[in-house]
Amino acid sequence: MKLLLFSDVHCSQPAVERLVERAAEVDVLVGAGDFGTMRRGTAETLLPFRDVKKPLVLVCGNGESDEELREAVPWDHAHVLHGSGVEIQGQAFFGLGGGIPVTPFGSWSFDLDEVQAAEALAECPQNAVLVVHSPPFGTVDISSQGRHLGSQSIRETVLRCQPVLTVCGHIHDSAGRCEKLAQSPVVNAGPQGIIWDLDTSGPMGGATCS
């Protein structure tokens, strides 16, 4: 199964158009949040995916809520996950959106604290594709100031459930990076998109996962 991983397009129609073009190469599209900006533009940004008749697995970012995301993509092939999962072609996907831990951005930001996140992640199955907006603490979560800004509850979930792949975004300075947490690969997807082959457990096109 080939996946197209992306996040943080933030209302960029050129970025979305490039992703729609690349969709022909994959089986499932996986979006890790922040499609709009400050709770605006989500529906317009995602509209080009309406005619991509392949499964579309999405979690909200902190720039849109899960309810707003569901309203934006009322299509049969779109699956919005928020403390929930779906099975596609025999592969389990589990997702949780929002900024975790709570961001400093104020009332517009859709955030969860670590306790809320841990409760929402409790039902994550073993060996799923875990889709989260925020990265696990200590992995693909380094800011431009060199600080780790990821989530402890997501880190604990990765260590407990050993996902075959964790897809995240949120920390723009780490976009496009792939690292392993224990033996589980974690990808901060970014708006350019990364094609990942689950059958070979790796990214395509010469990229590596350190």
pLDDT single digits (tens) 63-110: 999 999 999 999 999 999 999 999 999 999 999 999 999 999 999 999
Task: Please name the residue that has the structure tokens 């979006």.
Answer: 31
Instruction: Reply yes or no on whether the pLDDT at 16 is more than 70.
Output: yes
Q: 94 and 128 in contact (C-beta within 8 Å)?
A: yes
In the predicted model, what is the mean pLDDT of residues 107-117? 97
Q: What percent of the chain has pLDDT over 70?
A: 97
67 contact partners, CB below 8 Å, separation of at least 6: none
Q: What is the DSSP letter of 152?
A: H
Q: Does domain 2-203 have CATH number 3.60.21.10?
A: yes
pLDDT of residue 144: 86
Higher pLDDT, 146 or 50: 50
Separation between Cα atoms, residue 100 and residue 120, nearest integer Å: 12
pLDDT of residue 175: 95
**Confidence band (pLDDT; 50, 70, 90) for 200?**
confident
Q: Write out the two tokens for 58.
A: 């999405």
Higher pLDDT, 139 or 208: 139
Domain boundaries, the chain: 2-203
In the predicted model, what is the mean pLDDT of residues 158-169? 98
**Confidence band (pLDDT; 50, 70, 90) for 210?**
low
Higher pLDDT, 94 or 200: 94
C-alpha triplet 176, 3, 178: angle, nearest 5°: 25
Instruction: Reply yes or no on whether the pLDDT at 167 is more than 60.
Output: yes
Query: 103: burial class by Cβ within 10 Å (0-12, 13-18, 19+)?
Result: middle
In the predicted model, what is the mean pLDDT of residues 123-136? 98
The structure's pTM equals 0.95
